[in-house]
Structure 1
Amino acid sequence: MGSDQRSAMRIAVLAGGMSSEREISFSSGKNAAAALREAGFGTVDLLDPADKGFLDDIRAGGYDAAFIALHGAGGEDGMIQHLMEYLDMPYTGSDALASACGVDKDLSKALYERAGIPVADGVAIRRGEKIDPDAIVASLGHDLFVKPAINGSSYGVTKVSDAQELPKAIERAFEYSSKVLVESCLTGTEITVGVFGDDDSLRALPIVEICCPDEVDFYDLSVKYVVSDSIHRIPARLPEDVYAQAQELACRAHRALGCFGFSRTDFIVTKDGPVILETNTIPGMTETSLFPDEVRHEGRAFSDVCAELVDMAIARHGCK
């Protein structure tokens, strides 16, 4: 799309929302809005779907496309995508079905397994079900991760190492989701792999290695949004064949869920190879987020990538 076309376009950046990731979403939205203005789009407005007048504003705004920067419930679960479909408005990222599949870690694991992607051993627990901590430990081991099945950004995630700690950790996870996953704690190097492009041009971005400080058990909120080259290492220090395998698996996960435009998939590289953790269908877009880091390391301007996401959204809409 040429600069003259972009200068005449109106883009609504959707950020904020109603999830526990509301403030992070605002940071993503502001960063994406600045990038779109830098890319030459004439009007870029930041709209919050949680505002009372949101529907009136987006209907009356004459927008050519919506750039979705909403994380968690209402953003990555298909809700806002359904609304954009109803309004007949082009929007960035995955459609409602892929979003719903990606946000449910239990469902996405089944799709990963079907696609031949290694997953961690685990069990899903629904609210109201009786649990037997000793049986879970006997099956999965003492070191476990307890996480909400539908949530993001490490909210409600607990690492436990004893059966007695499980009930409290499960109860905490239920604060964020009606379904909880308990998984074996994997030993290895944590990495994340961004994926970018449409169906014909899909490619994996440079891999980020997550290096948590010694005093932190895992990559949680205390370090996730900290600017530090000692935490994000690009490219990841992996053997060449493992590096290529992780990139291929990230593309396979993207396709298994039916994602579009971009995604970011997290892995633990064990002694047997990469094991998938989850796929983010709307990766963080803040100044310290992983996806923008990968884009910059590839040598591309973040503004160009955001503009291409809009271009892809409009092209997809035109094919319907």
Structure 2
Amino acid sequence: MKKNIAIIMGGYSSEVAISIKSGNVVYKHLNTEKYNSYRIHIVKEGWFYIDSDENKHSVNKDDFSIEINGNKIIFDCVFNAIHGAPGENGSILAYFDLLGIKHTSAPFYQMALTFNKRDTLSVLQKYDIPTAKSVYLNKGNSFNPNEIVEKVGLPCFVKPNNAGSSFGISKVYEIHELDDAINKAYQEDYEILIESFLEGTEVSVGVIEYNNEVLVLPMTEIVSENDFFDYEAKYEGKSQEITPARISLEEKEKVELIAKKVYAVLNMSGFSRSEYILVNGEPHFLEMNTVPGLTEESILPQQANEAGISMSELFDNAIQNQLN
């Protein structure tokens, strides 16, 4: 008997359009012989089931069900394709847990932790995972630019603490640029992170549970045409994404080892894609994405393809991990 799968997409952040694109790709590739798939938009305007004619139908929030031609549809599993809030920060997953509905992401606490960049770094630093030097600020805090620069140096990065897709990020070269960069980051989040610039090769590393094992996918080397891997570089073709990465076998083994350690330390499950900078051959952790892009052009599907895993197999595996 086919399982009913809700593919949630959209969200409440600046990443809504990207999430809907990811969700539609999941819908396109899910095995129709095994699953009845339903696109569910979770957006600020409301929660809607989108039918094949692109018509909207309200979702019953009491039990997360929908009604089609008088028939009530209850979901066996939710495929989480929401980048940002409320999918990637775990809040909607706590709701599913209360309803007893399975989902493809890690438990809500792990999602909340990894969505908060500074809390993730605080945990990993206790396990001797190399990271950049950093300063944290909350909106309204006074700050001394000279003290910040003394700690993190120049250039440095100013970024929202709880945001994705490089929204609100600035690379700061001169101390007088800090004010504008901080204000830009505060437009996305009331907490911000200021980090030292790490010189080296950037690699993006997918780690998933596949066939009941933790699998590190072939890594992707990021070569941005812009000053850093910003929104244009990620989504508008302003970068080279080279899979597998052009790094030595020794560097590859070091990254694989630390990527598995990070996945285990954070008690992760489901999808993850983390960014590392190789500084003199040593991997430094930047951040983790737990709902990475899932389009045909996105990094994680590229890596899965290099490992011989099709998109249909990738998505099916995520669902089966929960159903089983």
The TM-score, its normalising length taken from structure 2, stands at 0.90
Per-residue deviation, residues 60-114 of structure 1 (Å, max 9, x unmatched) = 4221110000011211111111111122111001110000110000000011112
In terms of fraction of residues, the more strand-rich structure is 2
| Corresponding residue number in structure 1 for 2:216 | 204
Q: Structure 1 residue 55 and structure 2 residue 60: aligned?
A: yes
Aligned match for 1:145, one of 157, 168, 173: 157
Aligned match for 1:225, one of 213, 220, 235: 235
| Corresponding residue number in structure 2 for 1:11 | 5
Check the 8 A contact 2:251/2:281 in 1, yes or no.
no
TM superposition shift of 1:199 = 10
Q: Which amino acid aligns with 2:3?
A: M
Q: Provide the C-alpha distance between the structure 2 equivalents of 1:243 and 1:249, rounded to a whole number of angstroms.
A: 10
Secondary structure of the 1:123 match is strand
Q: Provide the C-alpha distance between the structure 2 equivalents of 1:104 and 1:195, rounded to a whole number of angstroms.
A: 19
Q: Provide the C-alpha distance between the structure 2 equivalents of 1:248 and 1:284, rounded to a whole number of angstroms.
A: 24
Secondary structure of the 2:301 match is helix
Check the 8 A contact 1:48/1:54 in 2, yes or no.
no
Check the 8 A contact 1:81/1:95 in 2, yes or no.
yes
Task: Please list, as runs of the form range in 1=range in 2, the aligned pairs for 1:94-113 lying within 5 A after superposition.
Answer: 94-113=106-125
Check the 8 A contact 1:198/1:260 in 2, yes or no.
no
Q: Provide the C-alpha distance between the structure 1 equivalents of 2:234 and 2:24, rounded to a whole number of angstroms.
A: 18
Q: Provide the C-alpha distance between the structure 1 equivalents of 2:211 and 2:129, rounded to a whole number of angstroms.
A: 20
Q: Provide the C-alpha distance between the structure 2 equivalents of 1:72 and 1:261, rounded to a whole number of angstroms.
A: 16
TM superposition shift of 1:176 = 1.0
In terms of fraction of residues, the more helix-rich structure is 1
| Corresponding residue number in structure 1 for 2:196 | 184
Q: Structure 1 residue 248 and structure 2 residue 253: aligned?
A: no
| Residue identity (%) | 31
CA distance 1:243–1:83, change in 2 (3 Å): same
Secondary structure of the 1:294 match is helix
Q: Provide the C-alpha distance between the structure 1 equivalents of 2:251 and 2:172, rounded to a whole number of angstroms.
A: 29
Check the 8 A contact 1:197/1:261 in 2, yes or no.
yes
CA distance 1:245–1:55, change in 2 (3 Å): farther
TM superposition shift of 1:135 = 1.3
Q: Provide the C-alpha distance between the structure 2 equivalents of 1:167 and 1:148, rounded to a whole number of angstroms.
A: 14
Check the 8 A contact 1:253/1:279 in 2, yes or no.
no
Q: Which amino acid aligns with 1:171?
A: N
Check the 8 A contact 2:210/2:317 in 1, yes or no.
no
| Corresponding residue number in structure 2 for 1:318 | none
| Corresponding residue number in structure 1 for 2:310 | 301
Q: Provide the C-alpha distance between the structure 1 equivalents of 2:153 and 2:251, rounded to a whole number of angstroms.
A: 26
TM superposition shift of 1:198 = 6.3
TM superposition shift of 1:294 = 0.3
Q: Which amino acid aligns with 2:160?
A: P
| Corresponding residue number in structure 1 for 2:52 | none
Secondary structure of the 2:253 match is helix
Check the 8 A contact 2:153/2:196 in 1, yes or no.
yes
Q: Which amino acid aligns with 1:306?
A: F
Q: Structure 1 residue 267 and structure 2 residue 299: aligned?
A: no
Q: Provide the C-alpha distance between the structure 2 equivalents of 1:25 and 1:195, rounded to a whole number of angstroms.
A: 20
Check the 8 A contact 1:187/1:270 in 2, yes or no.
yes
| Corresponding residue number in structure 2 for 1:43 | 36
The TM-score, its normalising length taken from structure 1, stands at 0.91
Q: Which amino acid aligns with 1:16?
A: G
Q: Provide the C-alpha distance between the structure 1 equivalents of 2:164 and 2:158, rounded to a whole number of angstroms.
A: 13
Q: Which amino acid aligns with 1:305?
A: L
Q: Provide the C-alpha distance between the structure 2 equivalents of 1:23 and 1:45, rounded to a whole number of angstroms.
A: 18
Q: Provide the C-alpha distance between the structure 2 equivalents of 1:313 and 1:227, rounded to a whole number of angstroms.
A: 34
Secondary structure of the 1:169 match is helix
Q: Provide the C-alpha distance between the structure 2 equivalents of 1:226 and 1:297, rounded to a whole number of angstroms.
A: 22
Per-residue deviation, residues 244-272 of structure 1 (Å, max 9, x unmatched) = 11112112112222211221110111115
Q: Provide the C-alpha distance between the structure 2 equivalents of 1:268 and 1:291, rounded to a whole number of angstroms.
A: 18
Please identify, of 195-204 and 113-122, the stretch whose mean Cα deviation from structure 2 is larger: 195-204
| Corresponding residue number in structure 2 for 1:193 | 205
Per-residue deviation, residues 145-198 of structure 1 (Å, max 9, x unmatched) = 000011111000000011110011011101111110000011011110000116
Q: Structure 1 residue 157 and structure 2 residue 157: aligned?
A: no
Q: Which amino acid aligns with 2:180?
A: K
Check the 8 A contact 1:264/1:291 in 2, yes or no.
yes
Unmatched 5+ stretches in structure 2:
48-57, 67-72
C-alpha RMSD of matched pairs (Å): 1.7
Check the 8 A contact 2:218/2:244 in 1, yes or no.
yes
Q: Provide the C-alpha distance between the structure 2 equivalents of 1:296 and 1:21, rounded to a whole number of angstroms.
A: 25
Q: Provide the C-alpha distance between the structure 2 equivalents of 1:277 and 1:120, rounded to a whole number of angstroms.
A: 7
